[in-house]
């Protein structure tokens, strides 16, 4: 084993320790670590796999480790992360031999701790290698077994089973353990799909057209953020579910549109592109540094019809006149339970009460922006979560208080064909297992004339 490989495992262990201690977002911390430590491109894949994989499977790994650890409370956090990380390799990664994974773990333990720690790490891992891991079949309750097996907290699995049934929940939990595909939206104001794919193929990427969204592509090999196409504003990295929002909104040329919670600008720029760089897209966000991201993206893509403001959308009524927007998008702050493949740490930090607190914020935001929609105009409410409280219940609560709004059933005809069968009861709830994208919810409301 090269010292570089050892470095990758040690880096992964440090990342895992920091993420758990500071409740940091794994995706942001991983990217900054890769840049800061100048991790070789050849090792980025392994580092990503080890970090995400260990977080994704944390509850199962702890279940497997439990019989082999005498005093878990006395274990320093980095030692626990090292054991989880090594066990993850032994159980889930075929390409790494057990003896190599154990050897590396013991070497790291020697370097980081005293002799007793490296002896304990060696002992625990050798015992697991010899005796095998305990069977999940010993967990009698199927819901509890699903919770441990797929490492989703019990409260969440119970909640989903009650809302969506056991089978759908099982599919969702299993899909959440798989790596997401990177997808991007082609900027049709600058290039065509065919030209863009040819450019990327020439650069060494392996690209296919999205079977879901007409202007989207999927990268089967290579990080599109490092492509010339990205730098030159030909593409925006965005999940396919997220791209559906602009279709639901259906903005036309020369309209005035509000994107109420807009950063980092993926949806604002999509709307602006669909409007062919005409009209006006007003994009709001609470934080200056996030508004800068919207501006940077608009500039990169060559879009001149986006205007940004740093503002709490709950105060938008103080800045803009009533009924002054043709269409409004409220992509509301949410629990993010639809993006657990990209941000696996969320499932351990979110609590059930967060869902109810967020629902109150979402209701307040809808109240604030609803008055700004013109008569006959469209209000789209979307979230990247899979929970009825934040989705249907929030929208139905708003409609009950605001008879001037009604569901816009015609939005189905605006949506890409592949998605139309998923639209039920005037809403669109996408599950991660539907077409491998993020879990997402979209409701389209029209203000009566």
> Is 80 exceeded by the pLDDT of residue 143?
yes
Query: 3-state class of 203 per DSSP?
Result: coil
In the prediction, which pLDDT does 2 show? 42
Q: What is the mean pLDDT of residues 412-435?
A: 93
- The DSSP secondary structure of 3-68, one letter per residue, reads HHHHHHHHHHHHHHHHHHHHT--HHHHHHHHHHHTT--HHHHHHHHHHHHHHHHTHHHHHHHHGGG
Return d(Cα 48, Cα 38) in angstroms, integer: 14
Q: What is the mean pLDDT of residues 93-121?
A: 91
> Is 70 exceeded by the pLDDT of residue 4?
no
> Is 80 exceeded by the pLDDT of residue 110?
yes
In the prediction, which pLDDT does 407 show? 96
Token pair recorded at residue 229: 């196409």
Q: What is the mean pLDDT of residues 151-168?
A: 98
Measured CA to CA in angstroms, residue 396 lies from 42, 162, 332, 391, 426 at distances of 50, 19, 15, 9, 11
Q: What is the pTM of this model?
A: 0.93
Helices 154-164 + 142-149 axis angle, to 10: 120
> Is 50 exceeded by the pLDDT of residue 42?
yes
Cβ atoms 205, 227 nearer than 8 A: yes
DSSP state, residue 315: G
In the prediction, which pLDDT does 38 show? 80
In the prediction, which pLDDT does 1 show? 40
Q: What is the mean pLDDT of the chain?
A: 94
Cβ atoms 224, 235 nearer than 8 A: yes
Which of these is catalytic: 173, 261, 334, 384? 384
Could you tell me the pLDDT band of residue 45, with boundaries at 50, 70 and 90? confident
In the prediction, which pLDDT does 299 show? 97
Cβ atoms 261, 330 nearer than 8 A: yes
84: Cβ contacts below 8 Å, ≥ 6 apart: 16, 54, 58, 61, 62, 65
Q: What is the mean pLDDT of residues 373-377?
A: 98
Return d(Cα 81, Cα 189) in angstroms, integer: 47
In the prediction, which pLDDT does 6 show? 52
Query: Distance between alpha carbon 175 and the CA centroid of its chain, in Å?
Result: 13
Q: What is the mean pLDDT of residues 98-102?
A: 93
384 is catalytic: yes
> Is 80 exceeded by the pLDDT of residue 171?
yes
In the prediction, which pLDDT does 29 show? 82
Return d(Cα 40, Cα 411) in angstroms, integer: 47
Could you tell me the pLDDT band of residue 432, with boundaries at 50, 70 and 90? very high
Could you tell me the pLDDT band of residue 116, with boundaries at 50, 70 and 90? confident
In the prediction, which pLDDT does 23 show? 73
Return d(Cα 250, Cα 22) in angstroms, integer: 41
Measured CA to CA in angstroms, residue 188 lies from 78, 211, 257 at distances of 48, 17, 19
Query: What percentage of the chain carries pLDDT values higher than 70?
Result: 98
Q: What is the mean pLDDT of residues 126-151?
A: 96
> Is 80 exceeded by the pLDDT of residue 141?
yes
Token pair recorded at residue 394: 């929030």
Measured CA to CA in angstroms, residue 310 lies from 328, 341, 365, 380 at distances of 17, 30, 16, 21
Could you tell me the pLDDT band of residue 44, with boundaries at 50, 70 and 90? confident
Could you tell me the pLDDT band of residue 39, with boundaries at 50, 70 and 90? confident
> Is 50 exceeded by the pLDDT of residue 133?
yes
Q: What is the mean pLDDT of residues 393-411?
A: 96
DSSP state, residue 417: T
The domains of the chain are located at 3-134, 140-175, 182-237, 240-447
> Is 60 exceeded by the pLDDT of residue 102?
yes
In the prediction, which pLDDT does 33 show? 85
How many Cβ atoms are within 10 Å of 362's Cβ, its own excluded? 24
Which alpha helices (DSSP H) does 57-192 contain, by range? Answer: 58-65, 77-92, 98-112, 115-131, 142-149, 154-164, 166-175
Q: What is the mean pLDDT of residues 261-283?
A: 96
Q: Which of the listed CATH numbers 3.40.50.620, 3.30.2290.10, 3.30.70.1170, 2.40.50.140 matches domain 182-237?
A: 3.30.70.1170
In the prediction, which pLDDT does 3 show? 44
Report the CATH number of the 240-447 domain: 3.40.50.150
Q: What is the mean pLDDT of residues 288-301?
A: 96
- Top CATH class, 3-134: mainly alpha
For residue 264, cis peptide bond before it (omega within 30 degrees of 0): yes
b/e 107-132 (16+ beta carbons within 10 angstroms → b) = bbbeebbeeebbebbbebbeebeeee
Return d(Cα 119, Cα 123) in angstroms, integer: 6
Q: What is the mean pLDDT of residues 283-312?
A: 96
> Is 90 exceeded by the pLDDT of residue 101?
yes
């Amino acid at each position: 084993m090269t010292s570089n490989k050892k470095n990758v495992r040690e880096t992964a262990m440090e990342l895992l320790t920091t993420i758990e201690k500071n409740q940091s977002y794994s995706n942001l911390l991983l990217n900054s670590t890769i840049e800061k430590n100048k991790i070789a491109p050849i090792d980025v894949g392994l580092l990503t796999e080890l970090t995400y994989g260990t977080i994704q499977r944390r509850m199962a790994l702890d279940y497997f480790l439990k019989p082999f650890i005498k005093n878990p409370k006395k274990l320093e956090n980095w030692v626990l992360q090292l054991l989880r990380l090594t066990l993850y390799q032994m159980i889930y990664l075929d390409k790494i031999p057990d003896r190599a994974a154990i050897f590396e773990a013991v070497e790291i333990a020697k370097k980081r701790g005293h002799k007793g720690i490296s002896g304990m790490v060696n002992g625990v891992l050798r015992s697991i290698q010899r005796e095998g891991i305990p069977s999940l079949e010993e967990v009698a309750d199927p819901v509890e077994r699903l919770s441990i097996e797929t490492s989703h907290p019990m409260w969440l699995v119970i909640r989903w089973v009650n809302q969506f049934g056991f089978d759908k929940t099982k599919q969702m939990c299993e899909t959440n353990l798989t790596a997401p595909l990177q997808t991007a939206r082609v900027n049709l104001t600058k290039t065509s799909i065919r030209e863009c794919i040819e450019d990327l193929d020439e650069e060494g990427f392996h690209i296919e057209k999205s079977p879901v969204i007409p202007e989207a592509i999927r990268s089967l090999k290579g990080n599109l953020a490092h492509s010339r196409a990205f730098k030159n504003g030909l593409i925006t990295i965005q999940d396919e579910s997220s791209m559906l929002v602009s279709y639901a909104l259906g903005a036309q040329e020369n309209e005035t549109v509000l994107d109420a919670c807009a950063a980092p600008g993926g949806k604002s720029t999509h709307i602006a592109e669909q409007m062919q760089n005409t009209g006006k897209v007003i994009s709001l966000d609470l934080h200056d540094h996030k508004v800068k991201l919207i501006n940077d993206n608009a500039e990169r893509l060559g879009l001149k019809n986006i205007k940004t403001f740093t503002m709490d959308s709950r105060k938008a009524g103080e800045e803009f006149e009533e009924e002054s927007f043709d269409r409004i998008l409220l992509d509301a702050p949410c629990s993010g339970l639809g993006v657990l493949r990209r941000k696996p740490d969320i499932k351990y930090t979110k609590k059930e009460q967060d869902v109810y607190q967020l629902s109150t914020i979402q209701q307040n935001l809808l109240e604030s922006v609803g008055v700004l929609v013109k008569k006959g105009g469209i209000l789209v409410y979307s979230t990247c979560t899979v929970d009825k409280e934040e989705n249907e219940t929030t929208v139905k609560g708003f409609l009950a208080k605001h008879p001037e709004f009604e569901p816009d059933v015609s939005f189905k005809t605006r949506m890409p064909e592949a998605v139309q069968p998923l639209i039920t009861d005037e809403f669109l709830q996408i599950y991660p297992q539907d077409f491998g994208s993020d879990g997402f919810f979209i409701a389209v409301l029209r203000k009566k004339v």
